[in-house]
A and B are shown apart, each in its own frame.
Chain A
Amino acid sequence: GSTASSGKKGSLVVAGVIAITGTSSFEGSNQSEGVLPALYEINHAGGVLGHQLVYKGVDTRGDPADALPAVQQLLATTSNLVAVAGPGTASAPTIVPVLNSAKIPMTAVAGESAYDQSHYQYFWRLFPPDSANGTAMALWAQRKHYTRVAAVFGSDAGSQGDLPGVLASLQAMHIQVVANISLTPDQSSYQSSVSQLIQAHPDVIMTESDAGTAGTFFGELKSLGGLVPIIGTEATYTTPWLTAVQNAIGPTDFHQYFTSLITAPSKPTAAVTAWNDAVKGAAHQLPVSVNSAENNPFAITYYDGIITLALAMVAAKSTTPSVYNNYIPKVADPGPGKTVVYNFAQGVKALNAGKQIEYFGATGLIDFNKYHNSFGNQEAVTLSASGKTVSLGQVSVAAIEAVPVKGVA
């Protein structure tokens, strides 16, 4: 549909610095599923201070060496760049300093614990660090009284991030790891790994890997009769993974066995409704179906990040990055006397009315600490046979922080 106002002022660019091709190309898909709906919502509400926002993908190819010129090219050629979504895991170490010194605010998704205590002024992360997700999984296993865990993780960079957190948390909770299996991506068969797993007699599998690998692995696991409950990381709760594994073991078994721990909204809120609307509005631009985008935790996080940044621009009455950057916590963090808003339009309205606002996101409460990190409760979910997200329960931030995880700083 056409947007409310167009072309009155020049458009502004939100760049997605992410792997779009190469082995980590799923990152790019996750990102566009979140950023595009956010932009749709913002533009539909009249844009930011009269400017329309447009998305521009910048391909890092999952390689720090490729990412650097890509970002510099972006900076050189894009005079109307106001924000960056990303960078992702592999390229963050190279790119974060560059963007920071170019004074471009970024909503990063790099889970590395190196950024748990980031001092970069323009770095903002709405994601839990990798270790938090792992701790939540361990806590969930404890709650379910599982005692024999098998860890099955892909050996690729994208899939290894959560593993240390998982192992350290299980150790802290004295839960036995009976098998720690690493899967080299894209083999023709994982039969040997499957039989190794079966012989370890686990009562639960904790897992993350790329979608293709997971499909093959769990398909073979099922055909050899070894299915047990599966707890996936946040990254498994994305369409390619879900589809691949669902295809491989069938929707009924999938629903019965699979749980994933994801960053979660505390309850169905107005923000979630706004998110769903935004996805529907942007549907024709998305590489995946509405349903799968709606349930993609990465996408939701990106969405929240962009909405927050846009609100900060409105609050600062400026699209100048170095100016609005300081307003980012001001429009998100909770505080006394603040008006809670659940979407961009509400926020603009409140700000224009001279109020202070707190954007309560589709992922829930946003509260940046001094390291520009914010993450919320984690939720255990599964997919119903009809493809709807079903919540199974919550793991609170407090519980996660209470686990004395050693070795994962």
Chain B
Amino acid sequence: MTERATPHLVATGLSAGYSQVPVVRGVSLQVGLGEIVVVVGPNGAGKSTLVKAVTGELELLQGRISLESRDITGLGEDDRMARGMGYVPQLRDVFPTLTVMENLEMGGYRLAKREVPQRVEAVLETFPALKGLRRRLARSMSGGEQKMLGIARALMADPKFLILDEPTANLAPQVATHVLKDIVAQLALSGRAVLLIEQRVALALEIASWGYVLTDGQLRLDRSAKDLLAMSDLGTLFLGMSEAGATSLHHH
């Protein structure tokens, strides 16, 4: 794997799960600066679980995680975020009883006070739909609007390493494309590291540089995105797809 960027996040031999029962077993992955790394897999494969282990929401049963070659295995969620991680969870990604502005301020919790207004404006620029909703409570917004807010919130801190768990869920097609092709791709271009989970597999692989296929809690493939995209049998082999499904993967 010589062509990969210098690793920013390195996870080795991760096992994590719920009530001491591992769901994800022995997964190793790395994300380098300037890279977009995609994890794909069927429902229930353990993608979100893997991500929660990386953010620290779930305690590790086994394995180590390092960020910028420093071991962060023992750190709590808040400390990991303080080291430049950002996270958009799949579910529960906004503070429902806070307004849009307050949500964004929380996203920029660790920023200096005077930086916040600037960042808010910058982030709202990327999601114009939120502009008119500054004082709206998050729980009284539409599904897609909430998702946008969730992403915007995570962008506030301008994280060096961003984790997105199905960020395009509930988003209208052009917004989804905007998120992946403009925002995420732009982040990578500017030297950030991105770990992305997507069900819009083809679209994700298009922008990604590296991809992992996770099924049943274990890594099955670890290839460059181009290689994965070229594998015509990717869907049938690893994602349990029928022929029809596999074609839809490519012409999405």
**A touches B (Cβ under 8 A):** no
